[in-house]
Structure 1
Amino acid sequence: MSATRLLVLGVVRGFGRTHGYRVRAELLSWGIDDWANVKPGSIYHALRQLAKIGLLEASEIAHWPGRVDYSVTAEGDAEFFRLLVDALERPEHRADMLSAGLALMPALSRERAVAALSTRLAVLEAQRAVLRKESAPVHAEGLPAHLGELWTMRTRYADLGVEWTQDLLARVRSGEYEMAGEHGPTFGTPGSWRALIGPGTAGR
């Protein structure tokens, strides 16, 4: 639910006020069916649940029977940032949570994004150091050679995680991506979707 919650909160926040069809169309335009474990039907369910627990405000449109518009509450805004920072900081999340965090990263200030990615890098480097230490005795114990490939695979993945995070952190630090607060006071605030993400799906 966390990746879905983060994505739905982020899209509603980005538009400022919008309806379920627009949220669904926007997320599908990002190709979430390829990189996130989010089904189109779960988007509507998430909207209703988030409204039920007070993270979204639901408003029925009198002149449009059946349509409900959503906006992010103060509690929803706080939850959005909590989930977003957590997605970038913690490498133990599933890939769909990291993907959601990357998709919405420009909602953070550059300083906050750098801090989150720096935390992630420190965790990954510590995990890699432990893995290398634990793998050394395995190679020396005379086990069948092919079992060593398990440790080789894990250390290669650990190396890749560190290297990718280092590269991303360097790009964010260098100013390669536009981040919240860099185009005046409205950039990255609720309703600044076009500045935050760029052209997306037009409303119905």
Structure 2
Amino acid sequence: MSSTRVLILGVLLDRPLHGYEVRKTLELWGAQHWANVAFGSIYHALGKMAQEGLLEVIESGEGAGPGGGRGRTVYAITPDGRAEFDRRLREHWSEIMPIVDPFQVALTFMDRLPKADLLSAVRERTERLRAGFASFERARDAKRAADAPRHVDECLVLSAAEYRAQLEWLERAIARIERDDIP
């Protein structure tokens, strides 16, 4: 089960919601920054998990909603969904997976770039990481303003720490590249 599905089940633990509310909750939490959530996949996942018996539709989205628009489908977690969430949550705590980052592929072939191009690429990545920090701060501020759960901050704190570690490596790498220490 993907992390997105676990997040959806977790969001539905407290009360039934329609897909838009699930999406807005995950956006509020900043899940796009730390869980690689594709927000468009939420609606598909909700329908699929309902077919699998992990969720139940308690209000159908068919027919006209308020103001003549399409109604929204409301989902509730089932006992099987709770059991699946609990099982997968425990697995997620113990599962260690490599972080797959295309940057490490680029590092493998850094010796194939002329020094000036390599320095340019490293400096550009450094600026992107700094912009990422700013994005994390904006997400944390928005989350606080909306009274989102404080524990979700920890996901943003961990992501920022990963960015910081890479940024520190890049800053040291610039000096080493300039001295011809690498590659």
Task: Report the TM-score, using the length of structure 1 for normalisation.
Answer: 0.43
Max Rg structure: 2
Structure with more relative contact order (C-alpha pairs < 8 Å, separation 6 or more): 1
Task: Report the TM-score, using the length of structure 2 for normalisation.
Answer: 0.48
